[in-house]
């Protein structure tokens, strides 16, 4: 996988956003004339929509019902 300078800028923008930085402050820091450009760097703002689907799920209620065996 090849990393380009703009990949680093996007990571920087994402981390600023996740740390609670204001979008306008990020826009100025990155030197963007348009706030929409900054939003594009951040990507999807909703954390739930960004999260990858789980490969495995655990039913904790079911695990609690299962008697534990002593080894």
Examine residue 12 and state whether it is found in any structural domain, yes or no: yes
Say if CB 41 and CB 30 are below 8 A apart: yes
Query: For the whole prediction, is pTM greater than 0.75?
Result: no
Determine, yes or no, domain membership for 70.
Answer: no
Query: Mean pLDDT throughout 41-68?
Result: 63
In a domain, 57, yes or no: no
pLDDT of residue 47: 58
Please check whether residue 35 lies inside any domain of the structure.
yes
Count structural domains, the chain: 1
For 12-51, the pLDDT digits (tens) are 998 898 899 999 999 999 999 999 999 888 876 665 655 6
3 state SS of 4 = coil
Q: Classify each residue of 11-32 as buried b or exposed e, where b means 16 or more C-beta atoms within 10 Å of its C-beta.
A: eebeebbeeeeeeeebbeeeeb
Decide if 29 is inside a domain: yes
Q: What is the pLDDT of residue 3?
A: 80
Q: What is the mean pLDDT of residues 47-67?
A: 60
């Amino acid at each position: 996988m090849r990393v380009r300078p703009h990949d680093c800028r996007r990571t920087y923008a994402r981390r600023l956003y996740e740390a609670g930085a204001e979008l306008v402050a990020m826009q100025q820091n990155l030197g963007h004339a348009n706030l929409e450009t900054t939003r594009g760097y951040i990507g999807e703002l909703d954390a739930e929509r960004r999260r990858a689907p789980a490969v495995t799920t655990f039913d904790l209620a079911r695990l609690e019902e299962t008697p534990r065996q002593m080894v």
